[in-house]
Amino acid sequence: MSAPLIFLDPHPRTQAMVYTPECAEALAGIGRVVAHWGSRAPGDLVEAHLGDMVVLVGQTDMPADRLARAPKLRAILNVKANWEPNIDYAGCVARGIHVLSAAPAMAPAVAEFCLGQAIALLRGLPAANTAFRAGREEYGIAGNRTARSLYGAEVALIGYGNLGRALAPLLRPFGVRLRVHDPWLSEGYLRAEGLEPVSLETALSGSDVLFLLAGVTDENEGALDRARLETVRPDASVILASRAEIVDFDAFVDLASQGVFRAAIDVFPEEPVPDDASVRAAPDILFSAHLAGGLEASYARIRAMMLDDIAQILRGLPPGRMQRAEPALAARMRSR
């Protein structure tokens, strides 16, 4: 029998991220690899290998008609860590094709990053850095007039997926009141997790620290508009760390710049952000360039999960490490 074909189309992931020499050697030991880098694989390359493809690694378009031309396909592994609306998820379930995401691999790094952003905002570190560089620093209690502590704070997570589940254990030692708004999860489930389920209105208006962790769907895109953002508790610290599309981004930046709330932003509607984008001049916001999850440790976890699950699938066993797609939910995601 010929070796099973493993087709790699993982753009925007690079070889350094998901196909190190060690990973390449491991994959070559269990199958025949065809890989395309630098862009999504062109349609003619996909079609040329579709009939023999057993495992697809990447975000290749797989609508119903293309699935029908892939009779050997047993798994689609998304290493970009989100769900895209370009797969016939229901058709995959009907065929017994595993559709998996590497999202859990990124969550520890993002959670750690979010915790650091929250503490930096609460303690006023971005402003303290600016004041020191300008020779306007104040020492001790004088410099801490607006500083706040995470200990005992009222904290809300909007979204309790991979990121929320990784962040909650990091917050608990601070003795916070931990509340969650996630319309996809039942109150019973959240309470069983030791969390307090709340409405969106309560999460926004009743929190000292607010983590925006939800993925973007066809239902919540832009849902945090100016009117809702204006209800955020005055001087709260708001961390935007998942998808920028869930907020009215211009309104979010405007309100944070006015000091209505403190803000940290790691994700943007357009990336890379244009050099002349007005957001670059927005004062009093802690900016970073989509850095939260992108550590080598995260990509090492992706490679390990990918190799484990491919090996399991080729042995006829269920995968155990990557996240399975729930068709009714995955098809509604609108992440880029």
Structural domain count, the chain: 2
Q: Specify whether 267 is located in the same domain as 149.
A: yes
Q: What per-residue confidence (pLDDT) applies to 335? A: 62
Does the residue 335 lie in any domain? no
Q: Specify whether 79 is located in the same domain as 126.
A: no
Q: What per-residue confidence (pLDDT) applies to 1? A: 60
Domain of 277: which CATH number?
A: 3.40.50.720
Q: Is the dihedral of CA 210, 113, 177, 120 positive or negative?
A: negative
Does the residue 313 lie in any domain? yes
Q: What per-residue confidence (pLDDT) applies to 212? A: 98
Range of the domain at 233: 106-287
Q: Specify whether 156 is located in the same domain as 76.
A: no
Q: Where are the beta strands (DSSP E) in 91-145?
A: 98-101
Q: Specify whether 305 is located in the same domain as 178.
A: no
Q: How far apart are CA 290 and CA 241, in angstroms?
A: 8
Q: What per-residue confidence (pLDDT) applies to 280? A: 96
Does the residue 120 lie in any domain? yes
Q: How far apart are CA 184 and CA 181, in angstroms?
A: 9
Does the residue 64 lie in any domain? yes
Q: What per-residue confidence (pLDDT) applies to 83? A: 86
pTM beyond 0.85: the answer is: yes
What's CA 162's distance to the chain center, in Å?
8
Q: Specify whether 161 is located in the same domain as 89.
A: no
Q: Specify whether 146 is located in the same domain as 235.
A: yes
Q: What per-residue confidence (pLDDT) applies to 177? A: 98
Q: How far apart are CA 304 and CA 252, in angstroms?
A: 37
Q: Specify whether 100 is located in the same domain as 113.
A: no
Does the residue 30 lie in any domain? yes
Q: Which residues pair with 177 in a beta bridge?
A: 154
Q: Is 126 helix (H, G, I), strand (E, B) or coil?
A: helix
Q: Specify whether 204 is located in the same domain as 319.
A: no
Q: What per-residue confidence (pLDDT) applies to 81? A: 79
What's CA 245's distance to the chain center, in Å?
12
Q: Specify whether 131 is located in the same domain as 259.
A: yes
Does the residue 164 lie in any domain? yes
Q: Specify whether 49 is located in the same domain as 163.
A: no
Q: What per-residue confidence (pLDDT) applies to 334? A: 63
Q: What per-residue confidence (pLDDT) applies to 317? A: 97
Q: Specify whether 256 is located in the same domain as 112.
A: yes
Q: What per-residue confidence (pLDDT) applies to 173? A: 98
What's CA 226's distance to the chain center, in Å?
23
Q: How far apart are CA 276 and CA 296, in angstroms?
A: 30
At 314, give phi and psi (nearest 5°): -70, -15
Q: Is 236 helix (H, G, I), strand (E, B) or coil?
A: coil
- The residue behind tokens 């929250």 is 118
Does the residue 99 lie in any domain? yes
Q: What per-residue confidence (pLDDT) applies to 219? A: 84
Q: How far apart are CA 133 and CA 224, in angstroms?
A: 35
Positions in the chain short of pLDDT 70: 1, 334-336
Q: Specify whether 31 is located in the same domain as 134.
A: no
